[in-house]
Amino acid sequence: MSQSQKQADKNFTIPELHDENGVISTNWLNEIKKAIISSDKKRVKQLMADVHTADVGDVLEALKADYRLKLISLLGDDFDYSALTEVDEAVRLPLIESLPNTQIARGVADIDSDDAVYILEDIDESEREDILAKVPPSERMSLKRSLDYPEESAGRRMQSEFIAIPPFWTVGKTIDWLRSEDNLPNEFHQIYVVDPTYNLVGIVPLDRLLRAKREVKIQDLMNKEIIVIPATMDQEEAAHIFEHYDLVEVGVVDENNRLVGVLTIDDIVDVIQEEADEDFRALVGVGDENISDSIFSAIKSRLTWLLVNLATAILASAVIALFDATIEQMVALAVLMPIVASMGGNAGTQTMTVTVRAISMREIDKFNIYRLINREALVGLANGVIFAFIMGIIAIIWFSNISLGLVIALAMIVNMAAAGIAGILIPLGLNKIGIDPAVASSAFVTTITDVVGFFAFLGLAAFWFGLF
């Protein structure tokens, strides 16, 4: 190395990774880009040396596509493949497709099995089999077993690395073994006690193990009242069990009740976030769209529910068309009718959102369902009366017409009461017949509030002004 190169390395300082807002700083990003462009492997490794795995994911998303692949190449064996679990699918899949299968196999073999499965499950089956063939046999077996379980199941989420011991060991023998054994999980919270067929018979939390005397047998120390999760259980159901029983780690068993893996709280936090994110996107009809998706993918994701909304809008317009003669006689009706529909739509969406959340959190059961339906109906009716009074006064002042004020007030009461009832009954009904209420509720609730709102307002107007 020349003297000038040595001086340059000596003078090189690493900028702060994050700016004051907690995002990747422009200065740091510019430095890593310069190092990538110049293929400066040493500089790249200096910049990335202390970057947390989660932040590596942020770096990959901040870089352009051609820079991402080159960064991984320059890092070589220093690249932690678990960082690929921190990026959107639209970023992860092109990267995996561009990397040699041998390199991917080496990378997934060095990370936790649950992270490896997360990366492998979205790869085409033929490519995945080729990658697995290049993984060492012991890791390959556990990865294949996890991949054989259904998508979004506990088996897919579990970590295959865990500590299992027989019940006849003593505390002293267990601690000595833990100190001498090299092939242990990086982090663990409890030890699993199994019989010769690997059936789970008890657990020993680490705090209990460390407080016990060395001569105490594990079978006298273990907790026999254990909670287990079947590997085929849906991940959302598993997350509910974690939340209900305040768990940090739990064993996963197969159909023969043999211990095959563990679920940890970090896995479950990801599940909860994913499920909440999925429900939120479903409510507004954007499917599984991510911000890194292409324009075509975003259009495709949103098109279906926009078409559904178009159909419901046409239905609402058809109701308006029934009263075209009434509207022609009083232009004020055309000015005011969107207010009735809009208020009903907003009220219905509020109730629907609360209901969908309660369903996903398992907060609705046979003991409170009728009370909740009555509550939402009364809330809708009460809000309808309040806003009927406000809007009635506004309409009377605006158009100097007391009858018009009374008509819109009555319509407001009818529509907001209907919105409250629809907002809870539609999600409950869809859930009852096995349809995800987060996906379908919005279109139905909007249709009902629009149709009822327009029909109530224009129908009352036609009756009132035709009668008087």
pLDDT at residue 287 tops 90: no
Give strand pairing partners of 199.
Answer: 258
Residues 79 and 203 in one domain: no
Instruction: Give the residue ranges of DSSP H helices in 158-211.
Output: 171-180, 206-211
Burial of 225 (0-12, 13-18, 19+ CB in 10 A): exposed
User: Is 278 domain-assigned?
Assistant: no
Residues 145 and 169 in one domain: no
Residues 141 and 210 in one domain: no
Residues 331 and 459 in one domain: yes
Per the structure block, which two tokens stand in for 459? 């129908």
Residue where the block lists tokens 């919105």:
419
Mean pLDDT of all residues belonging to the chain: 86
Residues 379 and 309 in one domain: yes
pLDDT at residue 289 tops 70: no
Whether the CB-CB separation of 386 and 420 falls below 8 Å is answered with no
Residue that terminates a domain, selected from 126, 157, 188: 157
* Phi and psi, residue 152, nearest 5°: 60, 30
Residues 181 and 208 in one domain: yes
Per the structure block, which two tokens stand in for 81? 């493949």
Where is 255: in which H helix or E strand? none
132-179 pLDDT tens trace: 999 988 889 989 999 999 998 999 999 999 999 999 999 999 999 999
Whether the CB-CB separation of 21 and 54 falls below 8 Å is answered with no
pLDDT at 102: 92
User: What CATH number does the domain containing 137 carry?
Assistant: 1.25.60.10
Domain range enclosing 248: 164-264
As a whole-number percent, the residues of the chain with pLDDT over 90 amount to: 47
Residues 313 and 420 in one domain: yes
What is the identity of the amino acid at 179?
R
Whether the CB-CB separation of 238 and 229 falls below 8 Å is answered with yes
pLDDT at residue 338 tops 50: yes
CA distances from 164 to 130, 169, 188, 222, 250 (A): 31, 11, 11, 12, 13
The pairs formed by 210-214 with CB atoms below 8 angstroms and a separation of 24 or more are 212/171, 213/171, 214/170, 214/171, 214/172, 214/175
pLDDT at 108: 92
Number of domains within the chain: 3
384/378 Cα distance (integer angstroms): 9
Whether the CB-CB separation of 272 and 249 falls below 8 Å is answered with no
User: Is 37 domain-assigned?
Assistant: yes
118/12 Cα distance (integer angstroms): 37
pLDDT at 7: 43
192-208 pLDDT tens trace: 999 999 999 999 999 99
Residues 251 and 322 in one domain: no
pLDDT at 75: 93
Residue 212: closest CA among 259, 161, 162, 169? 169
Residue where the block lists tokens 């400066």:
40
Residue 56: closest CA among 26, 84, 30? 84
368-408 pLDDT tens trace: 888 989 998 999 999 999 999 999 999 999 988 898 899 99
User: Is 184 domain-assigned?
Assistant: yes
User: What CATH number does the domain containing 377 carry?
Assistant: 1.10.357.20
pLDDT at residue 16 tops 70: yes
359-376 pLDDT tens trace: 877 788 788 888 989 998
Whether the CB-CB separation of 55 and 32 falls below 8 Å is answered with no
Burial of 249 (0-12, 13-18, 19+ CB in 10 A): buried
Residue that terminates a domain, selected from 104, 127, 157: 157
pLDDT at 330: 76
pLDDT at residue 229 tops 80: yes
Residues 339 and 257 in one domain: no
DSSP 85: G
Whether the CB-CB separation of 70 and 103 falls below 8 Å is answered with no
309/153 Cα distance (integer angstroms): 33
Question: Who wins on pLDDT, 325 or 161?
Answer: 161
Whether the CB-CB separation of 79 and 107 falls below 8 Å is answered with yes
pLDDT at 3: 44
Segment 250-254 mean pLDDT: 95
410-465 pLDDT tens trace: 999 999 999 999 999 998 998 888 887 877 788 788 888 888 988 888 888 888 87
Residue 147: closest CA among 264, 260, 287? 260
pLDDT at 436: 78
Residue that terminates a domain, selected from 157, 172, 207: 157
Residues 379 and 437 in one domain: yes
pLDDT at 447: 85
Residues 460 and 389 in one domain: yes
User: Is 357 domain-assigned?
Assistant: yes
Segment 328-342 mean pLDDT: 83
User: Is 286 domain-assigned?
Assistant: no
CA distances from 268 to 53, 153, 192, 329, 432 (A): 18, 12, 19, 61, 26
User: Is 273 domain-assigned?
Assistant: no
pLDDT at residue 44 tops 50: yes
Give the confidence band of 292 by pLDDT, cuts at 50, 70, 90: low
User: What CATH number does the domain containing 249 carry?
Assistant: 3.10.580.10
The strand pair at 228-230 and 249-253 is best described as parallel
User: Is 334 domain-assigned?
Assistant: yes
| DSSP code string of 290-332 | -TTS-HHHHHHHHHHHHHHHHHHHHHHHHHHHTTHHHHHH-HH
User: Is 94 domain-assigned?
Assistant: yes
Beta-carbon contacts of residue 281 (< 8 Å; ≥ 6 apart):
287, 288, 289
Q: Bin 4: left if φ > 0, else alpha if -120 < ψ < 50, else beta.
A: alpha
As a whole-number percent, the residues of the chain with pLDDT over 70 amount to: 90
pLDDT at residue 1 tops 50: no
Residues 331 and 431 in one domain: yes
If one counts every other C-beta atom within 10 angstroms of the C-beta of residue 242, the result is 22
If one counts every other C-beta atom within 10 angstroms of the C-beta of residue 448, the result is 23
Residue where the block lists tokens 């896995």:
267
